[in-house]
Amino acid sequence: MRRIFLAFLLVLGGLAARNFSTTGAGFSFSNGANKAPKGAPPAQETWGYMASLQDHYDRHGGDFRATSPEDYAAKAWAFRERAVARHLRMKFDGYTMRVMDLQSLEFAAFNRDGTTKTYFRPRDAGYWQRQPGSQITTPPWVR
């Protein structure tokens, strides 16, 4: 009976992961497409150095099923918003704010003004321990 229950949980978890995505407000139906959030500002407002966006998208966009550099930038912005709302782990070294979600293994670095430097999934959770800076609870652009 325990095996049946565990199998049921695995199947249910797989279905939920495929058909739903979490947002700061709870669950929203995404049809498995991992779409960028509605209402995200344009990349020109959220990406710190526009000349680097294409390269970052080429290297890391696949980590988030991003369909374009604009979509990738929007997802990075959404992660920034979730990080603040969920009080994810943050470090600040005076110039760069780094955030990591140890459950989803999402990592991003942001400039002091909140614009994105990079967004990707490190290969291991230990990546966070190697990041410089002091732990903070409020990003510098919120103060």
Q: What is the pLDDT of residues 87-136, one digit of tens each?
A: 999 999 999 999 999 999 999 999 999 999 999 999 987 999 999 999 99
Neighbours of 55 (CB within 10 A): 11
What does DSSP assign to residue 133? S
Contacts of 136 (CB under 8 A, 6+ apart): 90, 91, 92, 97
Give the phi and the psi of residue 51 in degrees, each rounded to 5: -65, -20
Provide the token pair at 66: 């991003």
* Nearest one of 47, 48, 51, 25 to 38, comparing CA atoms: 25
pLDDT level of residue 60 (50, 70, 90 thresholds)? very high
Q: Are residues 80 and 114 in contact, defined by beta-carbon separation less than 8 angstroms? A: yes
pTM (two decimals) = 0.73
Indicate the CATH number of 42-143 among 3.40.1130, 3.10.450, 3.40.50, 1.10.150: 3.10.450
Looking at every residue in the chain, the average pLDDT score rounds to: 81
Position 17 pLDDT exceeds 90: no
Neighbours of 118 (CB within 10 A): 18
